[in-house]
Structure 1
């Protein structure tokens, strides 16, 4: 199933089905429990009515048990013998005994004869035996009755009942247990009806959920399909100036479209930059190659006119330019810097000491913090290249002085290269780090270089987790600051 809409519809349907089944089961259990409690309450009322009669010493065969079909009654004594049952009760279960035939009580022991106490006593005995004597009274237990489910057959009809068991004590002190039932047919019919309704409605609800989810997902994914279609067209046409449509909804799809367009913008910029780079590199290589070829052709035709120094200079220029282009290609390919620990103060001194042919002497100031305070992690060759490029740029534009300062700052090390030249206009302080950029158009190409030094320095700094910035140096000159993080 490769369609997102189909997977979403199926997933929503399954989730809703599980939720409905769980909710339905919970509703059925609650309904059954409530109806069972109602039946238990009815059974308790019937049992207490019969128990009240027993407490008043109503004879067993004269007990009024009400509607026998709705409330079958069974009375047992302390020994479990059945002493009374409701009319037409043929079978019973769930009350502790399944007997429905009353058993005669055991014979009571003979009472001893009372001694004669005179006429008054005889008269009192006669009064006691008279019809006007107050009958004895027992009691009905107030404890919570015991409940249980069972069956009973009344007049040939067998059904399920909820039984309540209530104890009663007659005036003679005999404890009897009344088992009265209430039918569960209404509870069973209600539960069955609700279950049938749920089962009938479940497929309809699931179909509605699946259909609505399909339609909603289709509508939600329509912008995604538009984005995909436009991306396919861009890929086929190779026209990176085109953009995908951005929905006005402001949701995740809109953010996806916005990010896609930003990616296309960055890709278009990268491709344009690469094309300019190739064109500029070809242009830069064409001049020294043409000059070298001309000198060699003249030398071949007229050896006495061969400018060996010029040919060597052009060859060196080609070599430097090729090295710069190779380094930029490695940086663009994502080459990671090394993990060597370097002391920038020593590296700067070493680079300055090798510049014996410069027209301006470089002043170096190194702040000596605690041991290891000027250490960084990276590639020695690339960082030396950065420092050399900054010194070349400063020496090229300086009037009379170039200074280098190395100091430790919180979290890293700063190398500041300052010259007293014309400075860099504020509007150009970002552009000078682009490749093949020369601000002084009147400067000779041979003296100005190819315009790659600062671009290489900035890219190397970024690859090392640092940054390279330029600012003014007071009233005159420029100040380039290279910040590199401390050892990792």
Structure 2
């Protein structure tokens, strides 16, 4: 169960179902409240109309026993200002919500009310005008009050108990004084409609939620089917270690298709890196085998015949082996993402230091500073000068100057020789690891083919570039561009 809920399909279906459930509950509650309010208002209007009909009869002077009180669906009470019940619907057995619980008029209440009305006649117009109160707010004899009070209650008529909406109006009579009429309208239709709506919701909402969950599950499964294909293929690639395989790309333009394309691009980059690493290990093993074998041979010969030991040759092979190990270590650090230091380096001074250690190098440098590792930049310049010295006929020229361009300020180091140059087809190959052109493949003069590869990697780590083109004298011109500090 936990595994199923952990899937995207299950979470999507559950989330959609919860959202729809909350929306349905809110909408259902609003519908029920609106329906209840509307039906309650209709019942109140019916009760108000019934109360005003009885009040109109009282205002017209009808006797209590001649009032329209025989409707069992509309319980009515007529109450005096003192709270005495003087008239009520026939068969009324119990009532609540009107403020008067009495259901039968008190004996002699009708006569007492009539006498009270005659003993205290309503004041004439002149008295109402001269009085301190607001004459317009008190009903005059024969008038029915404009305001209606509503309350909910219940009543039992002829043994049937039901809930009612009661309306209360006041009426001023000539002979009986102020009276209050309480009339009720049944709420059975309201309860029935609300109950029916609630039943429909209780039955329909779960079915609707089930449909939403099912549709969401199916749609999500269809949408995630390509993702499952990508997962299976990636699992197969991991199990087989075959980086030449690729995940299927759906023929769409959505996020899944972009994921598949990005995954294939990552696999391509990973395959390239692994193949490069394999070639690197193979080439490194091949390059290390030669000086180690030569050194071992010389040592074995020296052990058997000390007079034949070639000490200078052994030292040369040892130095070559040491340099190759240092190059491999530096390449390993660069591949691991080692960030250069953030020191300020004067390229002109660094070029003069490296050129002073080599004969036949002419320097034309103006002061310019860059940010980076002095040791790594010195290694780049040394590799470029050594490469130029190997291929130059007579002279190597090094220049350092500033360049201002749209991308900012740059420091340019140009190393040129007067040799045969680099063929245009090989101007990118010379920066690959362990690559040596035909003219430089002799092990006595050439290196292991790592110098230019290290130089370009260091340049790129410092935010710069290293390129080669033909020099004005016909040889090779290597240009190192670095961001000026």
Please say whether Structure 1 and Structure 2 have the same fold, judged by a TM-score greater than 0.5: yes
Report whether the alignment pairs 1:92 with 2:95.
yes
- 1:58, CA displacement in angstroms? 3.1
Q: Write the deviation string for residues 414-443 of structure 1: whole angstroms up to 9, x where unpaired.
A: 342342556656655544432223345455
Normalising by structure 1, report the TM-score.
0.80
Quote the residue 2:34 is aligned against.
30
Change (3 A) 1:460 1:171: farther
Structure 1 residue ranges without an equivalent (≥5):
113-135, 369-373
**Equivalent position SS for 1:436:** coil
Report whether the alignment pairs 1:162 with 2:159.
no
User: Within 2, Cα distance between the matches of 1:426 and 1:55?
Assistant: 119
Structure 2 residue ranges without an equivalent (≥5):
122-139
Match of 1:416 among 413, 417, 423: 413
Report whether the alignment pairs 1:43 with 2:43.
no
User: Within 2, Cα distance between the matches of 1:336 and 1:160?
Assistant: 85
User: Within 1, Cα distance between the matches of 2:409 and 2:55?
Assistant: 95
Q: Write the deviation string for residues 348-401 of structure 1: whole angstroms up to 9, x where unpaired.
A: 514532443423324253346xxxxx352x444333323433443444455634
Change (3 A) 1:239 1:47: same
Match of 1:215 among 195, 215, 218: 218
Quote the residue 1:405 is aligned against.
400
Q: How does 1:74-473 map to 2 (within 5 A)?
A: 74-102=77-105, 104=109, 105=113, 107-108=116-117, 110=119, 138-143=142-147, 145-171=148-174, 174-300=177-303, 303-338=306-341, 341-345=342-346, 348-350=348-350, 352-367=352-367, 374=369, 376=371, 378-397=372-391, 400-405=395-400, 407=402, 414-421=411-418, 428-439=426-437, 441-442=439-440, 444-464=442-462, 466-470=463-467, 472=469
CA contact (8 A) 1:390 1:480 kept: no
User: Within 2, Cα distance between the matches of 1:343 and 1:108?
Assistant: 114
CA contact (8 A) 2:355 2:363 kept: no
CA contact (8 A) 1:390 1:417 kept: no
CA contact (8 A) 1:395 1:419 kept: no
User: Within 2, Cα distance between the matches of 1:110 and 1:176?
Assistant: 16
**Equivalent position SS for 2:184:** strand
User: Within 2, Cα distance between the matches of 1:211 and 1:83?
Assistant: 66
CA contact (8 A) 2:440 2:446 kept: no
- Which segment is superposed worse, 230-239 or 71-80? 71-80
Change (3 A) 1:173 1:82: closer
- 1:321, CA displacement in angstroms? 0.9
Q: Write the deviation string for residues 435-462 of structure 1: whole angstroms up to 9, x where unpaired.
A: 2233454553443322222322333344
How many residues are paired up? Answer: 451
Match of 1:68 among 66, 71, 81: 71
CA contact (8 A) 1:352 1:362 kept: no
Normalising by structure 2, report the TM-score.
0.81
